[in-house]
Amino acid sequence: MNRVPLLLALALVVPLAHAEGTPQYITDDVSVTLREAPRNDAGSVGVLHSGDQVAVLETLGEQSFARVRSSSGVEGWMTARYLSPQPAARDRLSQMKSDLDSARAQIKSLQDELKSAKAQIDSARPAFELSQENTQLKSALAAKQQAMDAVTLHFDAERAKRATLIAGAGLLSGGVILGLLLPWLLQNRRRRRYGDF
């Protein structure tokens, strides 16, 4: 019999303990009554909701009332503490989510462009390497051509020297031969002239 009240008490305490730990949040949705005069008992001319934009025409202080004009053109008085220079948090959150989605899309687009650029670089690398090799080969060819031109000039100079030496040697040989033959020929002529054989 003592167990029934104990079980009943335990059954009531467990949900209460659980209810205390459940997180809850205050809603961001606030409605403000637009009044005819700067008093709480003045008649209502409309209702403004969180995020509605208004133009402040006159204010009686931050903790009092402010005369405003709604975006639809309705003028009236409202409690000034509900005014904020920034849009409502949910509107800013919505804008930030939109900006975040836009930034993510832009990041994806830039990543795709980067992949495309890397692919183009990879495909152009062999051509670039060939171009560099071609430039190196052209430089080497130009150096070899200069060396060949220098050797050709040296060879031509040596050939001219040799031709000069050969011509000089030919003249010298011809002179020696003439020098040896001329006296013999002249001697033979003298003998013929005088009848000597």
E strands within the chain? 31-35, 44-49, 54-59, 65-70, 75-79
- What values do phi and psi take at 98, rounded to 5? -65, -45
Instruction: Summarize the confidence of residues 122-139 as an average pLDDT.
Output: 86
What proportion of the chain, given as a percentage, has pLDDT over 90?
A: 32
* Residues 8-21: tens digit of each pLDDT: 666 665 555 444 55
CATH fold label, 1-85: SH3 type barrels. (2.30.30)
More confident residue, 101 or 192: 101
- Residues in the chain, total: 197
Candidate from 16-20, 45-49, 118-122, 127-131 with smallest mean pLDDT: 16-20
* Residues 55-112: tens digit of each pLDDT: 899 888 888 898 999 888 999 998 888 888 877 777 778 888 999 999 999 999 999 9
Residue with tokens 């939109």: 98
Comparing CA positions, the residue from 158, 160, 138 lying closest to residue 150 is 158
**Sign of the dihedral through C-alpha 33, 66, 89, 48:** positive
Domain boundaries, the chain: 1-85
